[in-house]
């Protein structure tokens, strides 16, 4: 059955792949972008900056005015800032959290009244494997994604009486433009006491991402979730080795898990 779907951050990467796939399945898809480029897409592109409450309200109202409802909300908008935690400025810290966590919360808060009125809906929050384990030199990214996890768990219980389902997606590395779009702390960009380990970790991040899975793998999974009446709460998607370590992490001692990650990212 065709549904009205709103996807944040849909102008590129995973969001674009999801939007294209869902539109091909016959759904009415609205994808958001901070700066729509005017190009033609197989889905509707509307302007939204998730860090601006007025921008979010305007975009949501546009969808409601046209369709009368939002059946599925996919919170995908995000960005990454690399660097040592000690070297993050207050501005850089807030920029990471504002986009990847607070922006998501703003969009959900704006959409929920319409879902409650219809007594149905799905909210799919795109977290990360980095939301299941802290990653060196991506500390604030992991912190934001950990916040998504806790928020989503609480939300799932609060909205269940209104027949609204909450789902968390934990992607591993996918080959997208996320690598080239990543920015870095001002201090680390100039070199610091963390430089050797920072450079090693950033190089491995880029290698993992560019050797990552095809975004359509995730898009097809999202398509199946949208169709399910009772989807699972958690979906870990990506390469086998990354899915395996995410599943094993709760059972491994912290010292072993840290050694595995430090060895992988060449942090010594």
Q: What is the mean pLDDT of residues 169-178?
A: 92
Place of tokens 């980095």: 130
Reported as a single tens digit per residue, the pLDDT across 209-268 is 988 899 999 999 999 999 999 999 999 999 999 999 999 999 999 999 999 999 999 999
The alpha-carbon radius of gyration of the chain (Å, integer) is 18
Q: Which tens digits make up the pLDDT trace of 47-95? A: 999 999 999 999 999 999 999 999 999 999 999 999 999 999 999 999 9
The structure's pTM equals 0.95
6-20: average pLDDT: 95
Q: What is the mean pLDDT of residues 165-175?
A: 96
pLDDT surpasses 80 at 184? yes
pLDDT at 25 over 80: yes
Q: What is the pLDDT of residues 100-143, one digit of tens each?
A: 999 999 999 999 999 999 999 999 999 999 999 999 999 999 99
Domains and CATH numbers, the chain: 4-264 (3.40.50.720)
Q: What is the mean pLDDT of residues 148-174?
A: 97
pLDDT given for residue 37 in this prediction: 81
Q: What is the reported pLDDT for 169?
A: 98
| pLDDT surpassing 80 at residue 38 | no
Catalytic residues: 11, 127, 141, 145
Distance CA 104, CA 37 (A): 23
């Amino acid at each position: 059955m065709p549904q009205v779907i709103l996807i944040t951050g849909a102008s590129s990467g995973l969001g674009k792949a999801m939007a294209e796939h869902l539109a091909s399945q016959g759904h009415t898809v609205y994808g958001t972008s901070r700066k729509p480029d005017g190009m033609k897409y197989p889905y509707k592109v509307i302007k939204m900056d998730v860090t601006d409450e007025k921008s979010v309200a305007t975009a949501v109202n546009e969808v409601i005015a046209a369709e009368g409802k939002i059946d599925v909300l996919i919170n995908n908008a995000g960005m990454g800032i690399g660097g040592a935690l000690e070297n993050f400025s207050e501005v850089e810290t807030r920029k990471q959290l504002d986009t990847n966590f607070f922006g998501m919360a703003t969009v959900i808060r704006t959409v929920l009244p319409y879902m409650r009125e219809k007594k149905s809906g799905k909210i799919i929050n795109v977290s990360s494997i980095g939301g299941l384990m802290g990653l060196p030199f991506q500390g604030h990214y992991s912190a934001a994604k950990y916040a998504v996890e806790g928020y989503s768990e609480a939300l799932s219980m609060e909205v269940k009486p209104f027949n609204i389902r909450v789902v968390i997606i934990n992607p591993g590395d996918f080959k997208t433009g996320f690598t080239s779009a990543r920015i870095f702390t001002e201090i680390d960009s100039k070199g610091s006491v963390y430089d050797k380990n920072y450079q090693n970790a950033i190089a491995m991040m880029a290698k993992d991402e560019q050797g990552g899975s095809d975004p359509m793998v995730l898009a097809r999974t999202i398509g199946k979730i949208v169709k399910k009446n009772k989807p699972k709460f958690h979906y870990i998607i990506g390469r086998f080795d990354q899915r395996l370590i995410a599943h094993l992490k709760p059972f491994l001692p912290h010292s072993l898990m840290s050694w595995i990650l430090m060895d992988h990212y060449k942090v010594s």
